[in-house]
Chain A
């Protein structure tokens, strides 16, 4: 039986693997080895999630702490895919650092919950809906960091940012529409403007503005990057901000049990 107490046993080796991968990829000569180390870390951390899934007898996706696990898992995965496809040397360091932050949050402030899951969440749509969203959050998160990097250091990362945002939007779209199809099965309406849905729509529209802005005015780089930061703030509101937002109290079906 695995629980939160064993997180560090898996997280520490996984982080060490990812750090080794990040360092190797920075040097630029041991790229295959870097990929291999990152995959090793992913297997270890993925193993922990799988064991948690098994011992909870439900997908670990209900509480903020559990979604953070997925975030820590998907960041290095997105980093690895980006590294393999676009060969950015720094990307693995980035994703490892971010993932470490989320692991630390989970280690220092675990939100432990009982294993009950309300009937509405017992659906085959549940896992894909949350996993796809977590993947989208990870992708847009990396893109936002790159945007901040470019805004401060004036290094051109635009091609990478644009690609990551395209991937992020496609996953945001699929996650949102899966949510709609699920809601129809569970509650009889595909869209009910629940606070989480409202913020998801706003976030989605904001990211669409970025894509269209880049197409329409490729030379307007700074405003576009600043807009991207605003998009990410919106996304944070959608992900966890609404739990603290007075306007969303007591009405959302998405409120996490913690």
Chain B
């Protein structure tokens, strides 16, 4: 495992250098079509390394636990470092010179996870060549993680996340993004009624409900209620109850969050594979009654 540790130390060192030279990673540059390009290069690279594994010792070694364990330890340590440092909100600059307060844009962190996921991809390809039946739990766990992590990370820049504040009785078509830039929303929301139910003897709300009609550009018209934990799905968008304001002069204002995540089905594919993998891992844990 010495080689694996050296590689990880090297990655962290290179990452620190890159951090100083070009600064934190700009994830917004990953938006379509860049993310698809990166995905193709990643998959092609992994496939090529797999095919050349007989000729190149390094590629053969990348499919082993000796390479994988140091990579996992490095990722775990950097995640713990993230856990003990107060992180700035996404999109903000780190508050110290190293960049660890914006860990997701910290080069050593991203390079370590990239290395780990490449190793996972390599080991999946190796296993895919073996008889499938006995490898199903392994593949569900590893390939599921690969799919969820890769598509979740690459797809993140394609997520559209808008807020819309709608007055009771009015129709709204303007939305703002996280940077407070105003857009013409792809969805128009008419708020018929907004109601808050409070707990008895308390100012803490029990639930808030918006009765809305939603119009899309394609001419669709949907009347429904939106609550916390009960978003409304309309033509690729999900509309969440986000917040509310009560004003003397304008009446109730209900704030909605509109999210569109085109990569979500692939992330869910990975997540459900991992769920199946976890269940099969539980079922296949050996029972050895001979022990004591």
Contact = CB atoms under 8 A, between A and B. Distances in A.
Contact of B152 (A167, A170, A191, A247): A191
B83 A122 contact: no
Q: Which of A119, A234, A245 has the most CB of B within 10 A?
A: A119
B237 to A, nearest CB: 10
B289 A86 contact: yes
A55 B45 CA distance: 59
Contacts of B228: 119-120, 122, 186
Interface residues of B, number: 55
A123 interface: yes
Contacts of B199: 115-116
A247 B274 contact: no
A123 B83 contact: no
Contacts of B174: none
A87 interface: yes
Contacts of A245: 83-84
Interface residues of A, number: 57
B89 to A, nearest CB: 9
Interface string A201-226: 11001101100110110000000000
Interface string B66-97: 10110011011001101111110000000000
Contact of B281 (A116, A118, A166, A205): A166
Contacts of B207: 119, 122
Given A119-B208, A185-B229, A160 B80 contact: no
B285 A188 contact: no
Contacts of A29: none
Interface string B135-171: 0000000000000000010000001010000000000
Contacts of B291: 86-88, 159-160
Contacts of A246: 86
A115 B199 CA distance: 9
B69 A212 contact: yes
A198 B83 contact: yes
B204 A209 contact: no
Contact of A181 (B79, B271, B286, B287): B271
Given A86-B287, A174-B278, A215-B65, A186 B229 contact: yes
A118 B228 CA distance: 10
Contact of B275 (A86, A177, A189): A177
A77 B29 CA distance: 50
Nearest to A204: B76
B278 A187 contact: no
Given A119-B208, A173-B275, A247-B86, A188 B259 contact: yes
Contacts of A117: 206
Contacts of A206: 76
Contacts of A21: none
Contacts of A247: 83-87
Interface string B216-235: 00000000000111110000
Q: State the majority secondary structure of interface residues on A.
A: helix
A89 to B, nearest CB: 7
Q: Which of A169, A181, A184 has the most CB of B within 10 A?
A: A184
Nearest to B284: A166
Contacts of B58: none
Contact of B79 (A87, A170, A177, A205): A205
B46 interface: no
A209 B76 contact: yes
A7 to B, nearest CB: 24
A109 interface: no
B204 A198 contact: no
B65 A180 contact: no
Contacts of A149: none
A195 B87 CA distance: 9
A47 B103 CA distance: 45
B30 interface: no
Contact of A202 (B66, B68, B80, B275): B80
A85 interface: yes
Nearest to B81: A202
A223 B221 CA distance: 62
A63 interface: no
Interface of B: 1, 65-66, 68-69, 72-73, 75-76, 79-80, 82-87, 103-104, 152, 159, 161, 199, 202, 204-208, 227-231, 238, 240, 257, 259, 264, 267, 271, 274-275, 277-279, 281-282, 285-289, 291-292
23 contacts: A85-B289, A86-B287, A86-B288, A89-B292, A118-B205, A120-B229, A163-B287, A166-B285, A169-B281, A170-B285, A171-B282, A173-B277, A174-B278, A177-B278, A181-B271, A188-B259, A189-B259, A190-B152, A193-B103, A205-B72, A247-B83, A247-B84, A247-B86
Given A119-B207, A205-B75, A215-B65, 13 more contacts: A114-B202, A117-B206, A118-B204, A118-B205, A119-B228, A123-B229, A171-B278, A174-B275, A177-B275, A177-B278, A209-B73, A216-B69, A247-B87
